[in-house]
Amino acid sequence: MLLPKFHYHEPKTLDEACQIMENLGAMARPIAGGTDLLVNMKQGLISPQNLVSLQRIEELAGMDLSGGMLRIKACQTVSELAKSAEICSSLNALNLGASALGSPLIRNLATVGGNLVSARPAADLPPPLMAHGAKVILKSVSGERTLSLDSFFLGPGQTAMKTDEIMAEVLIEQPKASSGSGYLKLGVRKALEISIVNVASYLELDEGHKSIRLARIVLGAVAPTPMRAFSAEEMLMGEKPDEKLFYKAGQAASKESQPIDDLRGSADYRRDMVSVLTQRTLAMALANALTRGGAH
Amino acid sequence: MDNKITLTINSKVYEIRVESNQTLSEVLRDQLRLTGTKVGCNMGDCGACAVIMDGKPVNACLVLAVQANGREILTVEGLADERDLHPLQRAFLEKGAVQCGFCTPGMLLSAKGLLDQNPTPSEEEIKMAISGNLCRCTGYVKIIEAIKSASETYPL
């Protein structure tokens, strides 16, 4: 299980990195934390001729909140996300997702960008980020483009990124005070687990907390990519949030999911669990919204 | 050996040449003969290779040696000072937290990473901190007790 040979590049700036990707294209893979890439290389699944390290590029580190927009740089580690007071107070689902990813040893290496570009159907960060309506900024020598995460994932390991592009940032609009979110991951153990099903929900309430203004529900590990449960979302909008409604939304999400049978669980079991996790994350999102709304 | 790198390991500076496809765990063990760091799964699942890099415990099998260039590494060899065992090591001995010993270096470093951040952890926090370290002998109970006991005397 030694790593195959490759040429190593260590650009200091994003422009330099983009130039290398422009020149090498499909012969190169960017490496950040390496927790997914190096495992795949050791297993012989891929053997890129070139690795382009992004970890010494200062522009890709850290995060900031300005103009109502949270910008998480692509190389921010998952442990920094899980520790962030900003994320903890306003992006509950993302805090929970980051805290559930891998193990503490993995979280100290793994990055937000890496968890997105590896595009595993059961990954922990895509559902929370999609539930919060996140977008990503992709850079190349020809410029940059902003893409909603809804249209980013194309299949297991497949994304809308071109071979010369590098993910620079994840953008999230600062959620309104009357909003909340929740995330649950179903697995057989608490650490180093690939989800059987994972679900993130986001709810935005009207001023008096009487009805739901906006809902997003994202299901993981039940389709080739993380998926929005649109019919369940529609069922919630404009309605009074309560357990009965959340139960019906869970049923709708379950019908929409397209799980397969595999060694982690059967399709039937996954469908049932989509319903349960949807219902529970909606309840978490509501409780989170009421707590956050009450503080203002 | 096409890359020249500098590593500060246990406060000692090493200037070495490495291949780009060598991991930090391979360099520590095979090149520098610091074999206290163990390699179990070599895939980031078992935590036997845990070292502290720039203050944070990480899986050394998932770090390229070239990516560790310029960084500060603490391995199990650097835990004790010249005369005394580290309080965590002493607590592991006292509580019987070591059986075959293969997971011990990684456990110690994950535990040190925790106590450096949080000197008075709860039992849940201890369990969380070692959740990336597998032990097939002890059943974890004595390891958790040892970390708890060390936290009461840490740092000396």
User: Which residue's entry shows tokens 């590896």?
Assistant: A118
A136 & A206 share domain: no
Residues of chain B with CATH 3.10.20.30: 3-78
Whether B59 sits inside 8 A of A109 (CB atoms) is yes
pLDDT at A2 over 50: yes
Whether A109 sits inside 8 A of B110 (CB atoms) is no
On whether the CB atoms of residues A122 and A218 are closer than 8 A, the answer is no
Distance CA A112, CA A32 (A): 10
A123 & A36 share domain: no
Separation of CA A253 from chain center: 19
Q: Touching check for A34 and chain B: CB below 8 Å?
A: yes
Task: Indicate whether A282 belongs to any domain.
Answer: yes
Whether B43 sits inside 8 A of A42 (CB atoms) is yes
A103, A106, A111, A185: which to substitute to probe chain B, counting the most B Cβ within 10 Å? A103
Q: Touching check for B107 and chain A: CB below 8 Å?
A: no
On whether the CB atoms of residues B54 and B70 are closer than 8 A, the answer is no
Whether A4 sits inside 8 A of B21 (CB atoms) is yes
CATH code for position A132: 3.30.465.10
- Signed CA dihedral, A180, A79, A151, A255: sign only: negative
Following CA atoms A267, A269, A270, A273 in sequence, which dihedral angle do they give, to the nearest 10 degrees? 160
Residues of chain B with CATH 1.10.150.120: 87-153
Whether B50 sits inside 8 A of A105 (CB atoms) is yes
A66 & A155 share domain: yes
The pair of structure tokens assigned to B25 is 């765990």
Which whole number is the average pLDDT over A57-78? 96
For residue B113, the chain A residues in CB contact (below 8 A) are 104
- Signed CA dihedral, A104, B75, A9, A6: sign only: negative
For residue B43, the chain A residues in CB contact (below 8 A) are 1, 39, 42-43
Amino acid at A86: E
A107 & A72 share domain: yes
Task: Indicate whether A2 belongs to any domain.
Answer: no
pLDDT at A242 over 60: yes
Task: Indicate whether A1 belongs to any domain.
Answer: no
pLDDT at A296 over 50: no
Task: Indicate whether A283 belongs to any domain.
Answer: yes
Spatial CB neighbours of A76, under 8 Å, sequence gap ≥ 6: A61, A62, A63, A111, A112, A113
Amino acid at B58: V
Distance CA B14, CA A143 (A): 41
**Domain final position from A133, A150, A173:** A173
Separation of CA A248 from chain center: 25
Q: Which CATH class is domain B87-153?
A: mainly alpha
Cβ–Cβ pairs < 8 A, chains A and B: 87
A163 & A189 share domain: no
Q: What is the pLDDT along chain B (156 residues), one digit of tens a residue?
A: 689 999 999 999 999 999 999 999 999 999 999 999 999 999 999 999 999 999 999 999 999 999 999 999 999 999 999 889 999 999 999 999 999 999 999 999 999 999 999 999 999 999 999 999 999 999 999 999 999 999 998 765
Tens digit of each residue's pLDDT (9 = 90 or more) over A38-51: 999 999 999 999 99
Whether B132 sits inside 8 A of A7 (CB atoms) is no
A209 & A231 share domain: yes
Omega of the bond leading into B155 within 30 degrees of 0 (cis): yes
A49 & A70 share domain: no
For residue B135, the chain A residues in CB contact (below 8 A) are none
pLDDT for residue A293: 80
ipTM of the complex: 0.97
Tens digit of each residue's pLDDT (9 = 90 or more) over A196-241: 999 999 999 998 889 999 999 999 999 999 999 999 999 999 999 9
Spatial CB neighbours of B25, under 8 Å, sequence gap ≥ 6: B37, B39, B42, B49, B51, B60, B61, B63
On whether the CB atoms of residues A21 and A164 are closer than 8 A, the answer is yes
Q: What's the mean pLDDT when you consider all of chain A?
A: 96
B3-78 has CATH 3.20.20.100 classification: no
pLDDT for residue A295: 47
Task: Indicate whether A116 belongs to any domain.
Answer: yes
pLDDT at A73 over 50: yes
Please state whether beta strands A7-9 and A50-53 pair in parallel, antiparallel, or not at all (unpaired).
parallel
Alpha helix segments (H runs only) across A102-164: 104-107, 112-117, 126-131
pLDDT at A294 over 90: no
For residue A31, the chain B residues in CB contact (below 8 A) are 64, 67
For residue B18, the chain A residues in CB contact (below 8 A) are none
Exposure class string for A250-270: b at 16+ Cβ within 10 A, else e = bbbbbebbebeeeebbeeeeb
C-alpha triplet A80, A85, A86: angle, nearest 5°: 95
Cβ-based neighbour number of residue B32 at 10 Å: 17
A81 & A140 share domain: yes
Window B:43-72, CB contacts with A under 8 Å: 43-45, 47, 50, 53, 56-59, 62-64, 66-67
Distance CA B109, CA A220 (A): 33
Tens digit of each residue's pLDDT (9 = 90 or more) over B31-71: 999 999 999 999 999 999 999 999 999 999 999 999 999 99
For residue A2, the chain B residues in CB contact (below 8 A) are 21, 26
Task: Indicate whether A276 belongs to any domain.
Answer: yes
Q: Touching check for B10 and chain A: CB below 8 Å?
A: no
pLDDT for residue B155: 64
CATH code for position A209: 3.30.390.50
pLDDT for residue B156: 53
Whether A1 sits inside 8 A of B43 (CB atoms) is yes
Query: What Å distances lie between residue A263 and A184, A234, A260, B20, B134, CA to CA?
Result: 20, 33, 10, 36, 22
A3: left (phi over 0), alpha (psi -120 to 50) or beta: beta
pLDDT at A72 over 50: yes
Whether B132 sits inside 8 A of A34 (CB atoms) is no
A148 & A76 share domain: yes
Q: Which of A5, A8, A105 sits opposite B110 (nearest CB)?
A: A105
A165 & A197 share domain: no
On whether the CB atoms of residues A58 and A75 are closer than 8 A, the answer is no
Window A:106-135, CB contacts with B under 8 Å: 106, 108-109
A47 & A66 share domain: no
A105, A106, A194: which to substitute to probe chain B, counting the most B Cβ within 10 Å? A105
Spatial CB neighbours of A218, under 8 Å, sequence gap ≥ 6: A126, A127, A128, A130, A131, A199, A200, A201, A226, A227, A228, A229
A134 & A183 share domain: no
Whether B42 sits inside 8 A of A191 (CB atoms) is no
A227, containing H or E segment:
strand A227-228
Distance CA B61, CA B106 (A): 12
Q: Per the structure, how many domains does chain A have?
A: 3
**What is the domain range of residue A110?**
62-173
pLDDT at A284 over 50: yes
Q: Touching check for A2 and chain B: CB below 8 Å?
A: yes
CATH code for position A41: 3.30.43.10
